[in-house]
Amino acid sequence: MNQPALRHVDNLQPGRQQNGDRIEGMLQTVLTNRFLPQPDQNSVFVGDGNYRAVGAEFLGHFIRMGGLQPKSSVLDIGSGIGRMAVPLTQYLDSDHGRYVGIDPVEGGVTWCRQSVTPVYPNFTFQHVDIAHELYNPSGRINGKALKLPYPDRKFDFAIMTSIVTHLPPDEVLVYFSEINRMLKPGGRLFVTAFVADSIAAKDEHGRRDPRLAFVRSGDGPCWFVPGLPPLAAVGFDDGFLDRALERAGFTTVLKSLGHWRGQSAGHYQDVFVAERRSVSG
């Protein structure tokens, strides 16, 4: 049975309260503002697509789907070379909004510190030497023992775009739990992923991205692409990420399936928006 491309668990009122015309105008400004920082094309080492266009698209998703507010304190896991950060400079309030980006690849952090922070001092970037067999094989911090250098309940909003798609399953829960620790009650996590449900796995529509011919690894929950290193693209059994978020202390408020699987959707990867549950006492 075909699943709907978009599944709402609640009405996401914070995002819907934003003025649509104002958001569109801001996104167009992000696309056309020649004064915004932008790395040399040869230095964009993370992700596909146009640097500015992809960033603007995700800014729209953070606001509309995630309910991001201008005064939010944002943590960007895997900030890379600022693809998400640069558009956010045009949305987060310069006096009250804050952004922290972390990445295991020092080159991207260095560029962001030199190109973004001097103009937008409420945007900071930190190199965290997390080991990853593809992106940082000599890293000192084992992802299974991740402990980020930020206090409890510091952030309102956390971003993991194209991060879960490169993580083994035992590290996914560690990341989710650590982010939950750092989010304020009611804070939100925005995650993109590849959910390998029957539609995606069997290519029922015949229009799945041909680069993502996932094959299940043993008993799961991982799906890998034959011919690529395992962590180059990771899909997960449908339900795995839902349960991992629940175990980490989140309630999923939105699960929206992307068009990589051949279904009509307003975004490529699958999107989860999860809210940190309040802790009594």
Query: What's the chain's average pLDDT?
Result: 90
pTM of the model as a whole:
0.91
Helix then strand then coil, in percent of the chain rounded to 5, is 30, 25, 45
Contact between 133 and 231 under an 8 Å Cβ cutoff? The reply is yes
Reply yes or no on whether the pLDDT at 4 is more than 60.
no
The pLDDT of residue 47 is 53
Distance CA 75, CA 157 (A): 6
* pLDDT tens digits, 265-276: 999 999 999 999
